[in-house]
Structure 1
């Protein structure tokens, strides 16, 4: 089956569902390893907050968002590791996935409405278009 699975998460319910599907797939193989990728997008933080924000605060918030997702892989004892990157989520996920030699990339769908998708697109669409490996988008 799959030896290496990348699951991109942002702490949302959609990414938790994506993680649950990745964990189910990972349990099908004895040697499957899952890498959980969380991309911190500092562009979404107002510039005033950037100057005042301390690393410890950002780390604490990230840990709170990701803890339930990491738990998804601990229950069935799936081999996994958390990787945190900084940057624009779409391009960072694509770059990491294409360099990593993954067998599968799993990502949640944000469920943007059709007008928003047409104008700005979504991270899951960008990943599906640009990643070399098969991509599973979970609703």
Structure 2
């Protein structure tokens, strides 16, 4: 977690994310890229098209620079190398592109969640980043002056396709000295006996040398509720999942449990792309 991207829209939730990113950076001797995207409406393909006068563009950019400078002067960033980035681009596109351009290994975002029609048809930029980012995305919902991941819930079906992203889970857990609570959620529509579920988890973990974990089988009416209820039952610090990054009709009809968690969980959520 040496190179951390923190998108900001200057909201209190993005500041919560920056404060957590600062704690992670200090713990890992890392650096932060603080990103603000200026989403100006356009009449063409270029954000700097003739639909905006140059003085207007300069005004918005200068205002953003001043706000970023104010954020970078916060005491909680003392001793951290922080780079500010301002671009004229749609937020989601800019976040993904800057993550790749700066070779970051973690994106930390704030979110207040989405619901109703907004959740179904529009979704938040955070959801879109969770769905598409190739690096882990940590979503922060509330202010946390002392972020920890002592009790880290990782929910999965523990199939073979999870093994590669699980290497990143182990890397994260080792950096935070986390005890990882591996949980398989049993639902009426996808029921496994305890014996079968436990065998699947044991065989999955036999591929790794990681030892700081425990296994759990939890029954609930659906996977999302099962994860939330289990995390609450052990007072988890963090919830983790792998995401398929489904798009188009497949995503619309099947949805994404990871994105639902990002919207509905009160605890921090971290996602790892399959």
What TM-score do the two structures reach when normalised by structure 1?
0.83
How has the CA–CA distance of structure 1 residues 130 and 67 changed in structure 2, closer, same or farther, with 3 Å as cutoff? same
Asked if the contact 2:19–2:76 (Cα under 8 Å) also holds between the matched residues in 1, the reply is no
Q: Distance in 2 between matches of 1:96 and 1:73?
A: 25
How has the CA–CA distance of structure 1 residues 18 and 115 changed in structure 2, closer, same or farther, with 3 Å as cutoff? same
Asked if the contact 1:108–1:137 (Cα under 8 Å) also holds between the matched residues in 2, the reply is yes
Deviations 1:64-101 (A, max 9, x none): 43244323476432111101111110111112213332
Report 1:77-88 matches (<5 A).
Answer: 77-88=79-90
Structure 2 spans left out of the alignment, 5+ residues: 43-48, 142-274
Q: Secondary structure at the match of 2:83?
A: strand
Aligned to 1:15: 14
Aligned to 1:38: 36
Q: Distance in 1 between matches of 2:61 and 2:35?
A: 15
Aligned to 1:25: 24
How has the CA–CA distance of structure 1 residues 102 and 36 changed in structure 2, closer, same or farther, with 3 Å as cutoff? same
Q: Give the aligned CA root-mean-square deviation in angstroms.
A: 2.5
Aligned residues: 136
Asked if the contact 2:22–2:77 (Cα under 8 Å) also holds between the matched residues in 1, the reply is no
How has the CA–CA distance of structure 1 residues 113 and 11 changed in structure 2, closer, same or farther, with 3 Å as cutoff? same
Aligned to 2:91: 89
What TM-score do the two structures reach when normalised by structure 2?
0.45
Asked if the contact 1:27–1:76 (Cα under 8 Å) also holds between the matched residues in 2, the reply is no
Asked if the contact 1:10–1:65 (Cα under 8 Å) also holds between the matched residues in 2, the reply is no
Deviations 1:8-66 (A, max 9, x none): 1111111111111100111102x31111111111128xx99833743431123213432
Asked if the contact 1:98–1:131 (Cα under 8 Å) also holds between the matched residues in 2, the reply is no
Q: Distance in 2 between matches of 1:22 and 1:120?
A: 27
How has the CA–CA distance of structure 1 residues 100 and 67 changed in structure 2, closer, same or farther, with 3 Å as cutoff? closer
Q: Distance in 1 between matches of 2:125 and 2:115?
A: 14
Q: Secondary structure at the match of 1:16?
A: helix
